[in-house]
């Protein structure tokens, strides 16, 4: 027997760092009874590639959006979550800061806003009110709201003021951390307001509410990287994912990638998923070694190309990586240089040697790029 499909609210908190969110008292209180997915890593640490990967379940090289300047290159045969749900009679709505963030394909209502004039809490509340009647009348709905304030703050305070090597920026890490902390705190107030609005409009019945970040950001951690992850270090890769709840929450420590978000959301909503994708509900696998069965995880592949920084490549990605549960191998194709790291929330530790097996897998991934 087919289970009843559930409606989906997806709220993206652009650029919120995992280590800041999980130390924020407002987030912890608001989502104390929710499901936290604590080991989610983005495949690309900047919004354009990350969102298209998240909403297609495909790595950037496979969905076509594999560069800052390639948002319009989404392959015509690739289906986004909005298209998949639209084909299942979902009423689909989004309000996002720019068309480059996500394709309009599959959306019944496709709204963009000027992030420099936009009040996220007020205007997204208005968006919910405008479309609440239609969402409630529909058999199911998909609502995607993109919170842009953290990016706006970063743009105004950093991107428009400093370059990737400005000493005054990289020598002010505490000030930078305070700014990001304040921005994350403000996003928690926004989330509380939006969830209250969804309740007021009676939109939470038979609905799943997901909150996520697309990537982390630098706060001056390493010279050469003022914001987005040109080095693929952990603080720009580690994202957060929460499924809102009001009973008893769980903590999920399974190793995941942002491309796994779509199949996870669709499974929980009892929606059909017939597309062939890279993402998976679980990365856990079992292999036999010397007559023993070993349990480990499918690797995650990484790719990026900076607009600035020491190795700019905005047209197409030039930095690639492969991530295991505790190791990471990075290939800088511009220099043809490989570096392997042990990584954790406390930082990335460069190792003296590289794993030849990981190198072989990474080069195979890069082959068709």
In this structure, the dihedral spanned by the alpha carbons of residues 269, 271, 277 and 282, taken in order and rounded to 10 degrees, is 40
Instruction: Return d(Cα 51, Cα 103) in angstroms, integer.
Output: 10
pLDDT in tens, 161-202: 999 999 999 999 999 999 999 999 999 999 999 999 999 999
Tell me the pLDDT band of 369, cut-offs 50, 70 and 90.
low
Tell me the pLDDT band of 1, cut-offs 50, 70 and 90.
very low
Instruction: Return d(Cα 114, Cα 56) in angstroms, integer.
Output: 25
Domain ranges of the chain: 7-268, 284-366
Phi first, then psi: give them for residue 154, nearest 5 degrees. Answer: -65, -40
Instruction: Return d(Cα 346, Cα 349) in angstroms, integer.
Output: 9
Sort residue 347 into left (φ over 0), alpha (ψ -120 to 50) or beta.
left
- Provide the terminal-to-terminal Cα distance of the chain, rounded to the nearest Å: 42
What class has domain 7-268?
Answer: alpha beta
Q: Kindly report whether the global pTM for this prediction surpasses the value 0.85.
A: yes
C-alpha dist (Å) from residue 113 to 35, 189, 246: 30, 20, 31
> Other CB atoms closer than 10 Å to residue 40's CB: what's the count?
24
Task: Look up residue 73 and give its DSSP letter.
Answer: G
């Amino acid at each position: 027997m087919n289970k009843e499909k559930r409606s989906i609210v997806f709220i993206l908190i652009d650029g919120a760092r995992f280590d800041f969110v999980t130390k924020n008292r407002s987030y912890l209180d608001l989502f104390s009874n929710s499901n936290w997915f604590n080991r989610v890593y983005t495949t690309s640490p900047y919004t354009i590639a990350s969102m298209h990967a998240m909403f297609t379940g495909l790595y950037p090289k496979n969905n076509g959006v594999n560069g800052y300047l390639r948002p319009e290159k989404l392959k015509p045969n690739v289906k986004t979550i909005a298209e998949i749900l639209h084909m299942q009679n979902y009423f689909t709505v989004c309000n996002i800061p720019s068309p480059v963030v996500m394709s309009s394909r599959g959306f019944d209502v496709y709204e963009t806003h000027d992030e420099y004039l936009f009040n996220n809490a007020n205007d997204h509340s208005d968006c919910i009110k405008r479309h609440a009647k239609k969402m409630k009348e529909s058999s199911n709905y998909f609502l995607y709201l993109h919170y842009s304030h953290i990016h706006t703050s970063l743009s105004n305070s950093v991107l428009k003021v400093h370059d990737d090597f400005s000493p005054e920026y990289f020598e002010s890490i505490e000030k930078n951390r305070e700014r990001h902390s304040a921005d994350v705190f403000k996003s928690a107030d926004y989330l509380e307001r939006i969830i209250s609005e969804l309740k007021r409009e009676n939109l939470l019945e038979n609905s799943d509410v997901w909150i996520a970040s697309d990537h982390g950001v630098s706060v001056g951690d390493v010279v050469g990287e003022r914001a987005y992850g040109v080095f693929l270090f952990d603080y720009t890769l580690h994202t957060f994912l929460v499924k809102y709840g009001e009973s008893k929450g769980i903590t999920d420590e399974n190793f995941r990638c942002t491309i796994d978000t779509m199949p996870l959301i669709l499974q929980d909503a009892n929606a059909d998923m017939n597309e062939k994708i890279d993402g998976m509900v679980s990365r856990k696998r079992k292999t036999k070694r010397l007559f023993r069965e070993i349990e480990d995880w499918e690797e995650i592949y990484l790719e990026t190309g900076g607009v600035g920084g020491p190795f700019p490549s905005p047209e197409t990605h030039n930095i690639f990586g492969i991530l295991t549960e505790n190791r990471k191998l990075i290939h800088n194709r511009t220099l043809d240089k490989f570096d392997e790291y042990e990584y954790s929330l406390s930082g990335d530790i460069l190792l003296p040697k590289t794993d030849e097996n990981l190198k072989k897998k990474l080069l195979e991934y890069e082959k068709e790029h």
